Structure 1
Amino acid sequence: MANSKYEYVKTFEQSTTLLPATYIVVRLDGRGFHKFSAKYNFEKPNDRRALELMNAAATAVMRDVPDIGFAYGISDEFSFVFGRECRLFDRRESKILTTVISTFTSYYVHLWSTFFPSKPLMPPLPSFDGRVVLYPSTQTLRDYMSWRQVDCHINNLYNTTFWALVQKGGLDNAQAEERLKGTLAAEKNEILFSQFGINYNNEDEIFKKGSIVFRDYKIEGAGSGNIVATPAGSGGDGAEMSRTQQEKERKRRMKAEIVTEHTDFIKDEFWQQKPWLLSDTGS
């Protein structure tokens, strides 16, 4: 429709380009998942099948979008992290956001029957919303990740105690909520142990720490400093890669194994062992 008289409507389109040299985080959340989880009788306080479905969908997104460096998920939420030098869709916010959200939702629905074979999906179907947040430095990105993992611990400790009071303690939801009002972590741990014989430290790591999904690369020079091969063309000096080098790096990411761990990454050790995760290229 070149030169069509109607082409002027394109002037109304708006496009936000994300700031350069910043980490891009796309965080998605389930829409109405409180009702959704009740509809399909998710186990309380945690349903491992539901969490593993989220992880599987996130892994599939990372396979389809190799520009994603890593992702972190808790409950019905997942954060996808793109490196500071990411040029996907020329850093157009709407394209990046909608690609992640739609791809994740598609795989969530597609993989549902694998994890819930006896519970076919019926409308209203699961859906997710999302937002894009930019972080200017490695420290602010790590603080964001730490915030989400601390939230995971706080929410899981509360939910574990709440449902113990309901399922084993005979309280209704309102009574359990009132019982926990104003309690500190130590008090919740004491309720679990003294009343129900539950040692919170023995709860599954996936529930306490969430899931971090990342590309795992072989480390070169093992035994001599564990040096990670610098991505082709980066030169280690912040120089931009050519398009050919970018494509080569993209293919390398696509071949990398994607793994999921449930571990503490608030401390430095996790990032020191996997330095490529916080590099500008995410590899």
Structure 2
Amino acid sequence: MANSRFEYVRSFERENIFPQETYLVVRVDGRGFHKFSAEYDFTKPNDLDALKVMNLAARSLAEAIPDIILAYGDSDEYSFLLRKNCELFERRESKLISTFSSTITAYYQHHWSVVFPSKPLKIERLPTFDARVVMYPTAKLIKDYFSWRQVDCHINNLYNTSFWTLVEKGHLTPKEAEEKLKGTLAADKNEILFKEFGINYNNEPEIFKKGSILVRENPSLLAVPEDGSNLSERQKQREMKKLRKSKIELYHIDIIKEDFWSTRQYIFE
């Protein structure tokens, strides 16, 4: 770039660069999706096709960015875990935020047109996403982070299932349903569903109760030498090629118990 007398304005730019050898989680979240879901008449409490769009968008993003080793999604939110030795955008926060938010938005709009061909998006209500990056220093914190998101999914889904059942089958107003659920525990909500409506919450689809997990499931392709930070550019390119070829699987399973992590130690290597 040619120098000019106006270039001094660059001195006002600030960049946050995350340190090496730490885990980065990029969480994307739909902006104004409460109004968005109302505009396009989502099924309550869960719209399976809308979740399919979100999962397809997240998978496309994981395929486009090989450094994504694991992702967890619920509703209009997805968290992406980057490899510990990731050097994507030189670990610059602003680039990670802008890339993840814009790319997931583009993929979501693309997959929407495939899943909902009879519901074209309106210019006045387009889906958009924001993003944030959080740094974690240890594998334990990563496990606890994803456990937190799955617990949150369960709590929200149990409440929403109870709320919309009271409204749609119990013929309560939203205000009345809210009042009836105020102060109730999980056991109370389960009892309301079962005794009043014959619904066993345990039989609800796993995708609703546990959310969605995307994980690269070929550890042999993910092995990185211990001195990975000293790899040549050519070696790094080969590693990226292996990652691009690795298989991404979708699950709706428990990630709070240690079983999920103990069989996938390569996630943290």
Same-fold call, TM cutoff 0.5: yes
**Stretch moving more, 239-248 or 133-142:** 239-248
> Which runs of 5 or more structure 2 residues have no equivalent in the other structure?
none
1:153 and 2:154 aligned? yes
Match of 1:224?
none
Match of 2:92?
92
Match of 2:66?
66
Match of 2:244?
254
- After superposition, the Cα gap between the structure-2 partners of 1:104 and 1:96, relative to the gap in structure 1 and judged at 3 Å, is same
Give the Cα–Cα distance (whole angstroms) in 1 for the partners of residues 224 and 129 of structure 2.
36
Residue type of the alignment partner of 1:233: P
Give the Cα–Cα distance (whole angstroms) in 2 for the partners of residues 19 and 148 of structure 1.
24
On the 8 A contact 1:232/1:245 being kept in 2, the answer is no
| Partner deviation per Cα, 1:38-88 (whole Å, 9 max, x = no partner) | 000000000011111111000000111111111110011000111221111
| Partner deviation per Cα, 1:111-144 (whole Å, 9 max, x = no partner) | 1111111110002211111111111100011100
On the 8 A contact 1:211/1:262 being kept in 2, the answer is yes
TM-score norm. by structure 1 comes to: 0.91
| Partner deviation per Cα, 1:135-188 (whole Å, 9 max, x = no partner) | 110001110000000000000000001110000001010000000000000110
Match of 1:233?
225
Give the Cα–Cα distance (whole angstroms) in 2 for the partners of residues 22 and 77 of structure 1.
23
Give the Cα–Cα distance (whole angstroms) in 1 for the partners of residues 115 and 221 of structure 2.
37
Residue type of the alignment partner of 2:247: E
Residue type of the alignment partner of 2:117: P
> Which runs of 5 or more structure 1 residues have no equivalent in the other structure?
220-227
- After superposition, the Cα gap between the structure-2 partners of 1:229 and 1:127, relative to the gap in structure 1 and judged at 3 Å, is closer
Match of 2:110?
110
SS at match of 2:153: helix
Match of 1:198?
199
TM-score norm. by structure 2 comes to: 0.95
Give the Cα–Cα distance (whole angstroms) in 1 for the partners of residues 33 and 164 of structure 2.
18
Match of 2:164?
163
SS at match of 2:42: coil
Residue type of the alignment partner of 1:57: A
Match of 1:141?
142
On the 8 A contact 1:28/1:130 being kept in 2, the answer is yes
Deviation at 1:241? Answer: 3.2
Identity, in percent, stands at 56
Select 2:263's aligned residue among 260, 273, 282: 273
SS at match of 2:106: helix
Residue type of the alignment partner of 1:62: A
Deviation at 1:240? Answer: 4.2
- After superposition, the Cα gap between the structure-2 partners of 1:40 and 1:204, relative to the gap in structure 1 and judged at 3 Å, is same
Deviation at 1:229? Answer: 6.8
RMSD: 1.5
Deviation at 1:233? Answer: 2.7
Deviation at 1:19? Answer: 2.2
Give the Cα–Cα distance (whole angstroms) in 2 for the partners of residues 239 and 14 of structure 1.
26
On the 8 A contact 2:212/2:251 being kept in 1, the answer is yes
Deviation at 1:10? Answer: 1.7
On the 8 A contact 1:234/1:241 being kept in 2, the answer is no
SS at match of 2:46: coil
On the 8 A contact 1:271/1:278 being kept in 2, the answer is no
Residue type of the alignment partner of 1:174: K
Give the Cα–Cα distance (whole angstroms) in 2 for the partners of residues 229 and 126 of structure 1.
35
